[in-house]
């Protein structure tokens, strides 16, 4: 089976400003890698032979992007995430393809998500961690429990997907959002399956997130980046 992927890397990263003005994909998450370097390397390590970077800009700053497995799909105007995937899918040859947000870092075998896409589409879901402490109150004002940054018992979108070419052609818009529009329609028509992920899920939205990711990766053994459980 041929594994191909689209990496959505066109966001402006407004929540990082004014702390960081570097485009989010090019933020240094280690001394040797940018965020986009890491995600591309992860896909290559997992046997992806065609990786399409969907963005409104080129990324010539990384040596990774001279790899023959990597190609750009640059938008001349903003298409939204759904439109970006639809446009980039024209550079995909396989009947099924992987899609991921550049700022959602996970540690699992992405082939497992392909196995879930039996009805045309699959999404990786995870339980989020609150950035705040959860306070349990009884008798109006009596605090019974104070829990720092708990895991919330709900499943949310972890930003990784698999789509068949047929589903992409039918549901993805030429312009528009992936989550707000296309995914709801795919789910309503019973084409979407979920893979529950319980490993580490790192998201990069703020300068504080960047520091946390840098610290986490600095303390992580290199082999663990690929092998942590799903």
Domain boundaries, the chain: 3-124+155-227
Q: Looking at residue 139, what is its pLDDT?
A: 84
What's this model's pTM, rounded to 2 decimal places? Answer: 0.88
pLDDT in tens, 112-156: 999 999 999 999 999 998 888 989 998 888 998 998 888 889 999
Q: In angstroms, rounded to a whole number, what is the distance separating the alpha carbons of residues 225 and 7?
A: 18
Q: Looking at residue 82, what is its pLDDT?
A: 92
| Three-state SS sequence of 18-37 | CCCCCCHHHCECCCCCEHHH
**What homologous superfamily does CATH list for 3-124+155-227?**
Spore Coat Polysaccharide Biosynthesis Protein SpsA; Chain A (3.90.550.10)
Q: Looking at residue 12, what is its pLDDT?
A: 59
Q: Looking at residue 228, what is its pLDDT?
A: 43
Q: In angstroms, rounded to a whole number, what is the distance separating the alpha carbons of residues 26 and 28?
A: 6
Q: How many CB atoms lie within 10 A of CB 10?
A: 22
* Residue numbers in the chain where pLDDT is lower than 70: 11-21, 58-66, 221-230
Q: In angstroms, rounded to a whole number, what is the distance separating the alpha carbons of residues 92 and 95?
A: 8
Q: Looking at residue 15, what is its pLDDT?
A: 52
Whether the CB-CB separation of 98 and 85 falls below 8 Å is answered with no
């Amino acid at each position: 089976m041929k594994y191909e992927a689209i990496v959505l890397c066109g966001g402006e990263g407004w929540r990082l400003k004014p702390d960081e003005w570097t485009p989010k994909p090019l933020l240094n998450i280690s001394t040797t890698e940018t965020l986009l370097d890491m995600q591309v390397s992860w896909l290559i390590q997992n046997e992806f032979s065609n990786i399409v970077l969907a963005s409104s800009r080129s990324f010539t700053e990384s040596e990774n992007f001279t790899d023959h497995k990597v190609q750009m799909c640059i938008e001349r105007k903003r298409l939204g995430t759904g439109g970006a995937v639809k446009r980039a899918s024209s550079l995909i040859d396989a009947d099924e393809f992987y899609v991921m947000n550049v700022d959602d870092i996970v540690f699992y075998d992405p082939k497992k998500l392909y196995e879930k896409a039996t009805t045309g589409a699959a999404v990786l879901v995870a339980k989020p961690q609150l950035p705040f402490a959860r306070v349990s109150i009884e008798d109006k004002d009596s605090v019974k429990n104070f829990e720092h940054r708990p895991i919330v018992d709900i499943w949310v979108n972890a930003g990784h997907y698999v789509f068949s070419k047929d589903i992409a052609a039918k549901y993805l818009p030429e312009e528009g959002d992936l989550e707000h529009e296309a995914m709801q329609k795919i789910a309503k028509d019973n084409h979407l399956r979920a893979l529950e992920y319980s490993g580490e899920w790192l998201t990069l939205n703020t300068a504080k997130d960047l520091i946390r990711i840098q610290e986490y990766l600095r303390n992580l053994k290199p082999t663990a980046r690929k092998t942590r459980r799903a």
